[in-house]
């Protein structure tokens, strides 16, 4: 809707008003005539439309130039860049609170860096420290991260007025929906680099080899992601850094199987040891073995619980248990004498099974243990 109205008169401004004055005046008037504050007032609505249109033109250097030259602008209306809405939104946030969406020019934050962290069960049990070395984008040393060869402060992007977002009106009538999109001209950064730094091509970033000490707390689990704030890539033109995300990869252990905070240790003992009883040395993650008494007549597959010798629970002082499952050892090879000994045993009724199946299976026993923990 090209207009022949005097935009300067609508806003009550002189022809040489600067952009700050235009913005300030518009804010004041828009707030005064905003339909939210004047429900059902047709006159206020008309007035608000007028001042919005005037601002839309006068706040845009290109449109204002056209308007000053030709007295009208070809493309005012729905379906195109609409910076004024942004100001209204901002203003309403300021005055009435509530919405947290920021549309101020903002430094683009850096990207997160993801690394995997291979840990042994011993390291998980104790917690550990690591010195990580990785490639990281940091502020370009040639331009101090500004992206400008002369380290000049960047100019605001003309397309989005420095907000990094452009607003589009969708739908007709007065109560249109406003849709925000990343500014196509500055990629959302809100700035334009006049003299790009030749080293970083204006990004303000430089790839470096970075070293970071990390403290890994005890009890982490495979797949867990630990995040270290600010240790990711630096944002373009001194934007805030992203995070370092460390994904825990637990290495398989030669002795123990992990089940949450519990550890399972399987061991094989001689048949006479289960029948007559014995004492086993059971290894632990700390390297100090513990003694485990096997009573006479212990069935094969029995599970013993050694309390507190499992893994620490993440973020807690509690510890899991060490579950020891004992199996009878079946020798793979026998001498003639061994065979004679066993044949004699086989004939002895004492060694004949009293029942076909044990009361509980191997897996049931383990399951029962987990059920209790």
**Residues near Zn ion (CB under 5 A):** 140, 142-143, 157, 159-160, 183, 185-186, 197, 199-200
**Residue placing its CB nearer to Zn ion in the complex, 10 or 140:** 140
**Residue placing its CB nearer to Zn ion in the complex, 197 or 322:** 197
Q: What angle do CA 36, 41, 45 make, to 5 degrees?
A: 70
| Shortest Å, Cβ 160 to Zn ion | 3
Helix (H) or strand (E) run with residue 245 in it:
strand 244-250
| Shortest Å, Cβ 138 to Zn ion | 11
| Shortest Å, Cβ 86 to Zn ion | 12
In whole angstroms, what is the distance from residue 205 CA to residue 13 CA? 43
| Shortest Å, Cβ 154 to Zn ion | 11
In whole angstroms, what is the distance from residue 325 CA to residue 303 CA? 4
**Residue placing its CB nearer to Zn ion in the complex, 112 or 185:** 185
Q: What angle do CA 169, 4, 10 make, to 5 degrees?
A: 75
**Contact (CB, 8 A) for 47 and 33:** yes
**Residue placing its CB nearer to Zn ion in the complex, 186 or 326:** 186
| Exposure string over 247-275, b if 16+ CB within 10 A, otherwise e | ebebeeeeebebbebbbbbebebeeebbe
Is beta strand 165-170 parallel, antiparallel or unpaired with respect to 177-182?
Answer: antiparallel
- CA distances, 300 to each of 192, 257, 334, 361 (Å): 76, 19, 21, 10
**Residue placing its CB nearer to Zn ion in the complex, 90 or 185:** 185
| Shortest Å, Cβ 238 to Zn ion | 11
**Contact (CB, 8 A) for 186 and 220:** no
**Residue placing its CB nearer to Zn ion in the complex, 238 or 284:** 238
**Residue placing its CB nearer to Zn ion in the complex, 197 or 282:** 197
Cβ-in-10-Å burial (0-12, 13-18, 19+) of 344 comes to exposed
Tokens of 331: 């020798």
| Shortest Å, Cβ 66 to Zn ion | 20
Tokens of 2: 């090209």
Q: Name the residue with tokens 């004679």.
A: 340
| Shortest Å, Cβ 82 to Zn ion | 14
**Residue placing its CB nearer to Zn ion in the complex, 199 or 290:** 199
Bridge partners of residue 215, in order along the sequence: 129
Tokens of 344: 């004699």
């Amino acid at each position: 809707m090209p207009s022949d109205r005097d935009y300067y008169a609508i806003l009550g401004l002189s022809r040489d008003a600067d952009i700050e004055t235009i913005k300030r005046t518009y804010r004041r008037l828009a707030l005064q005539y905003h339909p939210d504050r004047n429900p059902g007032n047709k006159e206020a609505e008309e007035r608000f439309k007028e001042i919005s249109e005037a601002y839309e033109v006068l706040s845009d250097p290109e449109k204002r130039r056209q308007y000053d030259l030709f007295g009208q602008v070809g493309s005012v209306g729905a379906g195109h860049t609409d910076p004024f809405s942004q100001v209204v939104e901002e203003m309403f946030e300021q005055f009435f609170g509530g919405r947290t969406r920021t549309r101020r020019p903002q430094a683009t934050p850096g990207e997160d860096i993801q690394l995997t962290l291979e840990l042994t069960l011993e390291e998980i049990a104790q917690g550990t420290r690591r010195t990580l070395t990785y490639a990281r984008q940091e502020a370009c040393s040639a331009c101090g991260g500004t992206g400008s060869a002369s380290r000049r402060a960047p100019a605001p992007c003309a397309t989005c007025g420095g907000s990094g977002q452009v607003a589009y009106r969708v739908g007709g009538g007065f109560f249109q929906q406003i849709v925000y999109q990343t500014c196509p001209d500055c990629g959302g950064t809100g700035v334009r680099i006049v003299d790009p730094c030749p080293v970083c091509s204006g990004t303000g970033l430089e790839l470096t080899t970075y070293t970071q000490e990390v403290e890994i707390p005890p009890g982490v689990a495979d797949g867990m992601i630990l995040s270290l704030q600010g240790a990711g890539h630096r944002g373009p033109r001194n934007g805030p850094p992203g995070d370092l995300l460390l994904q825990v990869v637990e290495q398989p252990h030669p002795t123990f199987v992990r089940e949450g905070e519990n550890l399972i240790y399987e061991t094989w003992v001689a048949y006479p040891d289960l029948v007559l009883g014995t004492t086993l040395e059971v290894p632990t993650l700390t390297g100090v073995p513990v003694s485990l008494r096997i009573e006479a007549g212990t069935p094969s597959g029995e599970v013993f619980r050694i309390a507190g010798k499992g893994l620490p629970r993440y973020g807690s002082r509690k510890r899991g248990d060490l579950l020891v499952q004992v199996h009878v050892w079946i020798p793979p090879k026998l001498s003639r004498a061994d065979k004679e000994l066993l044949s004699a045993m086989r004939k002895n009724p004492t060694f004949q099974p009293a029942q076909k199946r044990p009361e509980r299976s191997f897996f049931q026993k383990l399951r029962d243990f987990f059920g209790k923990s």
